[in-house]
Structure 1
Amino acid sequence: MRGPVALGDGLFVAGDHRDTPSTQGALVSGRRAAEAVLAAR
């Protein structure tokens, strides 16, 4: 279950609740959020 990391209006969110509930899920979500921020620039 992957939740969106870009919420709109320049807001981004990361955490295991956006991917799989684990440390790995939190890291993956953080990477997805970072990539979304870079793409939005």
Structure 2
Amino acid sequence: MNLIIAFKTFIFKGFQFLQQTLINLLRFYFSIHNNNTQPAL
């Protein structure tokens, strides 16, 4: 049972990490390609 809980936790943490990485990449992309506006914080 603990193995299943650990696996679910691992999947959840991995999904959060990928989501945060995607958000950071999008902010980085828009900050480069929108030089006439303020960079995304």
TM-score, structure 1 as length reference: 0.48
The structure, 1 or 2, with the larger RCO (C-alpha pairs under 8 Å, 6+ apart) is 1
Higher-strand-fraction structure: 1
User: For the pair shown, which has the larger CA radius of gyration, 1 or 2?
Assistant: 2
TM-score, structure 2 as length reference: 0.48
Higher-helix-fraction structure: 2
